[in-house]
Amino acid sequence: MGWLIVIAVVLLFAFEVPRVRLRYVLSQAFPLPYSKILRKNLPAYSKMPTDLQMQLKRRIRQFLYQKTFVGCGGLEITDEIRVTIAGKACMLLLNRSSEVYPQLTHILVYPSAFVAPRKEMLNGGVVTHTNQGLSGESWSDGRVILAWDQVALNSHNEMHGQDVVLHEFAHQLDSESGQTNGAPILNSTAAYQAWSKVMESEYSGLLNAINHHHGTVIDPYGATNPAEFFAVSTEAFFKKSEQLAQHHPALYAQLQSYYKVDPRDWV
């Protein structure tokens, strides 16, 4: 009986202490230097209403407390790197009751594009090994890998509607369902049916536009597979909201329903 009490106390301690520590972290004032970083590197932040700014800062504090940043390739992790990445990632969680990327533990940051090994099966069963340069990658084992120079390229990314952090963390949301297939966790069967109908139609439309060499609001990389389509659509939703809403209203409506915000209000 005594051992059962000891085990119960240990388990209670193990579960409750992290919660107490998190509550303490969230009760602290958001550092002024962090706010300056957000205004510098997240253009939308200064245009958000106060309640969304407060939500974002609370999510960022939790993200920074729970996730470990690792500098790779000689990169030294700074507050600017941590806060910028956390801010962009947490933009996807505003007005939503979801946890702060519960499966994610580590963010690996390289100074620039990193090389990842790849295997490809050719006709006849021949396997080739190649190296691919990447600016970001999301893994289902609790890691996201990013190239800092691509994260920090605000003017270039804003012009082209691209954001590697939004892209890779959309993959993280997608994978929370157990599969990275372009269908994140939704609230009901009806929601999944509506999502599937719109996404399949829009994905086919993108393939058709590419085949006919037409310009697209959505990055052509989204034609790779449904998971990449969701990720690049997320980028367009936050970075090219006016254009996406105008040319792809059904897709915009689905993403707005999922993300619970309207980025057009921040333009």
The 10s digit of each residue's pLDDT in 236-255 is 999 999 999 999 999 999 99
Predicted pLDDT of residue 111: 94
Q: How far is CA 66 from CA 69, 77, 164, 229, 267, in A?
A: 10, 16, 21, 29, 31
Of 14-18, 161-165, 212-216, 228-232, where does mean pLDDT reach its minimum? 14-18
SS3 category, 68 = strand
Q: Does the pLDDT of residue 59 top 50, yes or no?
A: yes
pLDDT digits (tens, 9 = 90+) for 98-113: 889 999 999 999 998 8
pLDDT for 199 beyond 80: yes
CA triplet 31, 238, 67: central angle to 5 degrees? Answer: 45
In the predicted model, what is the mean pLDDT of the chain? 87
* pTM, full prediction: 0.86
pLDDT above 70 for 159? no
Tell me: the pLDDT tens digits for 24-43?
Answer: 767 788 999 999 999 999 99
Walk me through the domains of the chain, giving residue ranges and CATH numbers. 15-160 (1.10.472.150), 177-267 (3.40.390.10)
Q: How remote is the C-alpha of 242 from its chain's centroid?
A: 20
pLDDT of residue 8: 47
* Mean pLDDT confidence for 220-233: 96
Q: Give the pLDDT band (50/70/90) at residue 133.
A: low
